Amino acid sequence: MGVRAIIQNTIYFDGVRIEKNGLLGNSGFGLEIAKTSFNIGRLGISIASMGVIKRVSQLMCRYAERRNLSTGYLSDNTNFREQLYSNFQSLFALETFITFLGNQIDRGISVHDDFFNLLKMICPELAYTAVDNGMQIIGARGYIETNCIPQLSRDVRLFRIFEGSTEALGDSLGRSYIRYNSDAMPHLLVKTLNANDLLEELEELKSEIIVIIGDVDDSRIYIKYADLVGYACIFAVNRIISSDVQNTGLSWAEKRYKKHYYELKQ
Ligand SMILES: Cc1cc2nc3c(=O)[nH]c(=O)nc-3n(C[C@H](O)[C@H](O)[C@H](O)COP(=O)(O)OP(=O)(O)OC[C@H]3O[C@@H](n4cnc5c(N)ncnc54)[C@H](O)[C@@H]3O)c2cc1C
């Protein structure tokens, strides 16, 4: 459908012998290498998602500044402006989060795997929505192939699927937080982000969820809970970087966190 420069092939290993010097890392520790590769891939996709939101915003502006409707220029239309503003808000908040993680990596600080997984869950969803909204803003000219929006739309669609689909990641993360009491949440929110208040709120909500769902293996709840933890992390990072409530990224992150929190609480 998209990313046509990536060739899809099947590789068969049949009686292949690997010499010791052909091993990646040490024998028995292959999963660590696979995990590192997943983490870098998931971070890369999240960063590319930010690029997609920027590019589609640029194309939206280019069109809206020239398109004169019966009501005036599209660029002055409040619906257009709200969509553009929403793109910028998410960009500010997520770039702050990604920069924070990048700085940790550059300083040699070990970054918890869940940060990459949560980012990969959230960023492609936002990029996909931004491209779809961008196509809507550009109208028929956004749909036809002479414009690059269809290609962007096909390419970004893959982001929600590969390197772990949104649902597979959400199910596994949410399940680990709700069912297996993984120590990841305290690690992410308290040890790394100093957000005891958010951890308390999430733990309380988790107890309420367990009472309601009992032993039912409810994937929808796991996915929603993982999404909420992701937004809690984004909110917490933005709070560390700026305490100014007028800050665009911070206010967006807080609103997204609260929206997901109350949706799940209901
Ligand atoms: C262009 C392209 C390039 C690729 N490149 C690579 C590559 O380089 N290396 C590589 O290893 N793979 C690659 N892949 C494969 C890709 O990683 C997988 O397709 C992806 O992880 C999804 O797995 P799947 O297709 O088997 O979907 P499935 O596992 O069959 O999932 C189908 C759907 O089921 C739902 N689902 C799945 N699991 C759960 C769950 N636990 N809880 C709730 N819902 C769930 C989701 O909605 C998901 O989208 C590539 C794929 C494409 C299309």
Give the 3-state secondary structure of residue 68.
Answer: strand
Which residue puts its alpha carbon closest to atom 51 of ligand 1?
A: 162
The pocket around ligand 1, CB under 6 angstroms, is made up of 3, 6, 8, 158, 161-165, 167-168, 171, 219
Ligand 1 atom closest to 2 (CA): 1
Ranges of residues in the chain with a pLDDT under 50 are none
In 3D space, the residue among 137, 134, 160, 139 whose CA is nearest the CA of residue 53 turns out to be 134
Beta-ladder partners of 72: 69
Q: What is the distance between the alpha carbons of residues 125 and 251, in angstroms, rounded to a whole number?
A: 19
The upper half-sphere exposure of residue 24, i.e. CA atoms within 13 Å in the direction of its Cβ, equals: 8
Regarding the domain delimited by 30-166, which CATH topology (the fold level of the hierarchy) does it fall under? Butyryl-CoA Dehydrogenase, subunit A; domain 3 (1.20.140)
Cβ pair 43, 119 in contact under 8 A: yes
Which tens digits make up the pLDDT trace of 6-51?
888 999 999 999 898 988 888 889 888 999 999 999 999 999 999 9
Ligand 1 centre from 169 Cα, in Å?
Answer: 10
Quote the pLDDT of residue 6: 86
- Residue 77 CB-density burial (10 A; 0-12 exposed, 13-18 middle, 19+ buried): middle
What is the pTM assigned to this prediction?
Answer: 0.94
Please, what sign has the CA dihedral across residues 134, 139, 145, 147? negative
Q: Tell the residue nearest (CA) to atom 39 of ligand 1.
A: 168
What residues does each domain of the chain span? 30-166, 170-265
Structure confidence at residue 245 (pLDDT): 64
Residue 235: C-alpha distances to residues 66, 93, 105, 172 (Å): 36, 8, 20, 22
CA 257 to mean position of chain CA atoms: 13
pLDDT at 261: 98
